[in-house]
Amino acid sequence: MIRRFTGIAVLLLSLAMAQLARAQSQSTLDIYFIDVEGGQATLFVTPHHDSLLIDTGWPGRDSRDARRIVAAAKLAGLTKIDDVIITHYHDDHVGGVPQLVAQMPVGTFIDHGPLYERCPTCVSGFNSYTALIAAGKAKRLTVKPGDSLPLRDLEVKVLSANGDVIAQPMPGAGQPNTFCAASEIRPDDTTENSHSVGVSIRFGRFHTTDLGDLTWDKERALMCPVNRIGEDSLLIVSHHGWNQSSSPAYVDAVKPQVAIMDNGATKGGSLPTVITLNAIPGMKAMWQLHRSEEAGPHNVPEDRIANLTGDPAIDKGYYLKVSAKRDGSFTVFNERTGKTVAYPAR
């Protein structure tokens, strides 16, 4: 009998130690910047293994983007993705939905509501997406600015959606934005881009924002005359680094320690935007998913680029991974180089 109880005690101790080790190994918020060749697919995995994916990349291409998303999800230990934000209905963001759901279960899709642009790929992507919802493959939630999303470990607040932005500043924000004067005033954008769902994500003292493809004029509405967001630990560069976004009123005012641009070799990474980003006051470093052909010598050093070519014959689709702690410190890992750079909390 004593041996039996001893064996049970050893088993329980082993299980407890395994659970402790697992908890310790999952103490970070992990963010995977998945290469979908100039689209977006950014996966957030919390210590409790709740998951949030922002966008699904392109359609077709032999399910390339869905396969890359699923590979990252499995690497993170996921068997399903809890929530997927579709920032807007351009095909480099919504296009991969059917292929993704065919390979991995999704709990809820989150979007801005109706379609505002009648381009053929927009209509096709929107129709495929809504048909999947109608077929009961996942739930659908339409959000508005100010809404919160229920993920354990994270505070996720909707900053923009359906062409509107939050009316009141986030807690701790609201200071006059001195960078508004340096941002030109541009005409209103009426495409799907300006209707993007944008979110603030906070994990303890670590803070990041992802505004999808929100345009210059909407950034100004969000950031002027006062900064409604506050400061970022990590800036997820809007619109793949295209020069219709990333105004000084936004990127300079949030004062990121680090920026990551999810560009492709020939999509995004516009030269004026790269120059603006590299000039953000006090920023420690910028990272890129791809070397931008347009940016030329203004690209960041190669050790901060995940993919050096867009040639499909040799492009491996490497990812970048951020691992953030609650104290605000974080690391950036480059799959291509195998190297990690640490950034202390400020």
- The pLDDT profile of the chain, 346 residues, written as one tens digit per residue, is 554 444 444 444 544 444 444 444 569 999 999 999 999 999 999 999 999 999 999 999 999 999 999 999 999 999 999 999 999 999 999 999 999 999 999 999 999 999 999 999 999 999 999 999 999 999 999 999 999 998 999 999 999 999 999 999 999 999 999 999 989 999 999 999 999 999 999 999 999 999 999 999 999 999 999 999 999 999 999 999 999 999 999 999 999 999 999 999 999 999 999 999 999 999 999 999 999 999 999 999 999 999 999 898 899 999 999 999 999 999 999 999 999 999 999 9
Distance of alpha carbon 255 from alpha carbon 128, whole angstroms: 38
Of 113, 115, 116, 135, nearest to 126 by C-alpha is: 115
Distance of alpha carbon 174 from alpha carbon 211, whole angstroms: 18
Spell out the domain ranges in the chain.
28-343
Distance of alpha carbon 35 from alpha carbon 245, whole angstroms: 20
Instruction: Give the class (CATH, top level) of 28-343.
Output: alpha beta
Distance of alpha carbon 123 from alpha carbon 114, whole angstroms: 11
Structure tokens at 134: 């109608």
Distance of alpha carbon 230 from alpha carbon 18, whole angstroms: 39
- Tens of pLDDT, residue by residue over 214-233, are 999 999 999 999 999 999 99
**Which three-class secondary structure string do you get for 28-53?**
CEEEEECCCCCCCCEEEECCCCCEEE
Distance of alpha carbon 205 from alpha carbon 328, whole angstroms: 5
